[in-house]
Structure 1
Amino acid sequence: MKIQHTSLYQEMQSMASQASRVQPEAKVPAQATAATSSAQFGDILSSALNNVADLQRDAKSKVTAVEMGDRSVSLAEAMIAKNKSSVAFEATVQVRNKLVEAYKDIMSMPV
């Protein structure tokens, strides 16, 4: 399952809207839900991180090719690849920040 960095935010929004529409009567056992959702979330997060790493590798190779004078890669291609990797990395940092914030909120809840 390959997830593009632009569709990750849309996927998260659709999951949030689905979660808000869940009926209270239609509860699933907590253990089954936790195991499935954590596995899916982990897969999605891993896929997104791999996608960011691929974009960064591609940008680095294109920038290096332009610096070395390779005529098969234009400056515009290198700049676009660099900006794509930059945006993907910034989005990843924002997701990390939100996860850390959510973790802190959960840990500060009284038991």
Structure 2
Amino acid sequence: MDLRLTPNTMPVGLRPQLTAGRSAGQVTGAESEGFAGALKGALGSVSAAQNESSRLQREVQLENPKVSLEQTMVAIQKAQIGFQATLHVRNRMVQAYTDIMNMQV
């Protein structure tokens, strides 16, 4: 899972000026996705890591000499860490939603 800051996931104050040369009303597809696009990308990378670890486990069980146990264990740990991070983000989002819904207006 790639957690590096890209122009789409950076705080607005730290973003480089990517809109130079565009009119004020033009927004590209990557910029309009925002948080939803970043979350979708993160979920996709977690899913890919889990699929890769499953594939490597299957190859080790079939005794493929091209796949090492160490490589498989590292892939499993990456998938597990990515899943745990995703779970924490989901829990925080649910908690934030609950807090907002319980606010007095």
TM-score per shorter chain, which class?
0.7 to 0.9
* Cα-to-partner distance string for 1:46-90 (whole Å, 9 max, x where unaligned): 000000000000000001100110000000000000000000000
Partner of 2:19: none
SS in 2 for 1:7: coil
One-letter amino acid matched to 2:4: S
Partner of 2:81: 87
Partner of 1:46: 40
Mapped to 2, the partners of 1:92 and 1:38 lie a distance apart of 23
Partner of 2:66: 72
Q: For 2:90, which of 88, 91, 96 is the aligned residue?
A: 96
Partner of 1:31: none
Partner of 2:103: 109
Partner of 2:11: 15
1:38 CA drift (Å): 7.9
Mapped to 2, the partners of 1:70 and 1:38 lie a distance apart of 45
Question: In structure 2, do the counterparts of structure 1 residues 38 and 100 end up closer, same or farther at CA, with 3 Å as the change threshold?
Answer: farther
Mapped to 2, the partners of 1:91 and 1:40 lie a distance apart of 19
One-letter amino acid matched to 2:11: M
TM-score by length of 2: 0.73
Following TM superposition, the consecutive aligned residue runs of length 4 or more in structure 1 with deviations greater than 2 angstroms are: none
TM-score by length of 1: 0.70
**Identical amino acids, percent of aligned pairs:** 33
Q: Count residues with an aligned counterpart.
A: 87
1:7 CA drift (Å): 2.5
